[in-house]
Amino acid sequence: MGATEFVDEVLREAGRLLLDLQEGSASSATRKRGADLVTAADRCSEALILRALRGRYPRDAVLAEESGALSGDPDRVWVVDPLDGTGNYVRGLRPWGVTMALVVRGAVVVGGFHDPLAGTTVLAERGGGAWMDGQRLVTGGGPTPVAVPTVGLSASAPPLRDEARALLNAMWDHGAELRMSGCGAAALASVARGRLSAFVEIDGGPWDYAAGALAVREAGGRATTLTGGEVDHTSTTVLAAGDAALHAELAGLVGEVRGNG
């Protein structure tokens, strides 16, 4: 079993666990940071994934949202979000899911996002394309092309809310339709599928972006940090778009809002 098949299997197993736990007390949330929530389900899902990683790749390092950094080979780091979209999960809303990626010497080489409610999994390999349940993904492959870009935006940390509001207004003025889904990994998967034109997040974690950014790139889009760097296991921002031209437009808007455009 290769790394991609391993990711597929583990994500689906974690997804089944999360579905089983959603109706019980494990879905009760406590506040973690700002608007971020955590549940027992987050921790149970993470424990399942960590057990699988320790069994299959015992020497690799891990960076997990709830457990933090776990020791291992610094050249091979697994980045894990056991439940992205916790706020949606506890309220019975969509989307939410599980995502993980493998970073080798600073480059994301394998990643996946599983949506348990939809039963779909987006997988990507560096240089090998992005796929959803066996179907090759292209960023222009949505059901209908749109003249107005549909952009996902996320920001939850209080110190950055003024910046988020300014960015929101700039994008509205630019003619974009905005969506705030509450699940960055799902938004990136939607960009890779051609269903969302772009996605911007200004205060997340690498576990939110690593897999999805790889999927966007492998599907023909462009995904970077807000400063134009490659998304890796240290990234706290992301700007992803279905094509390079839209990415450049949005990067210009971000630069103007942040005072470096």
Largest interatomic CA distance in the chain: 51
Domain boundary residue among 88, 105, 136? Answer: 136
In terms of domains, do 211 and 158 share one?
Answer: yes
Domain boundary residue among 85, 106, 136? Answer: 136
Residue 17 lies inside a defined structural domain of this protein: yes
Question: What is the domain-level CATH number for residue 196?
Answer: 3.40.190.80
In terms of domains, do 119 and 157 share one?
Answer: no
Domain with 207, as residue range(s), is 150-258
User: Which residues define the annotated binding site?
Assistant: 65, 81, 83-84, 208
Bridge partner list, 79: 63, 101
Counting the structural domains of the chain, the total is 2
List the chain pLDDT tens, one digit each, 261 residues: 799 999 999 999 999 999 999 987 555 655 555 446 678 899 999 999 999 999 999 999 999 988 888 889 999 999 999 999 998 999 999 999 999 999 999 999 999 999 999 999 999 999 999 999 999 999 975 554 445 577 777 766 566 778 888 888 888 888 888 888 889 999 999 999 999 999 999 888 999 999 999 999 999 999 999 999 999 999 999 999 999 999 999 999 999 988 754
In terms of domains, do 169 and 82 share one?
Answer: no
Q: What is the spatial distance between Cα 61 and Cα 78, in angstroms, rounded to a whole number?
A: 6
In terms of domains, do 110 and 170 share one?
Answer: no
SS3 content of the chain, % helix, strand, coil (to 5): 40, 30, 35
Residue 144 lies inside a defined structural domain of this protein: no
In terms of domains, do 132 and 154 share one?
Answer: no
User: Which residues define the annotated binding site for Mg(2+)?
Assistant: 65, 81, 83-84, 208
Would you state the pLDDT for residue 109?
Answer: 99
In terms of domains, do 12 and 114 share one?
Answer: yes
Q: How far is CA 33 from its chain centroid?
A: 18
Domain boundary residue among 82, 107, 136? Answer: 136
Two tokens, residue 87: 């706020």
Residue 141 lies inside a defined structural domain of this protein: no
In terms of domains, do 223 and 192 share one?
Answer: yes
In terms of domains, do 174 and 127 share one?
Answer: no
Question: What is the domain-level CATH number for residue 88?
Answer: 3.30.540.10
Would you call 164 helix, strand, or coil by DSSP? Answer: helix
DSSP 44: H
Would you state the pLDDT for residue 23?
Answer: 82
Would you state the pLDDT for residue 146?
Answer: 46
Contacts of 163 (CB under 8 A, 6+ apart): 155, 202, 257, 258
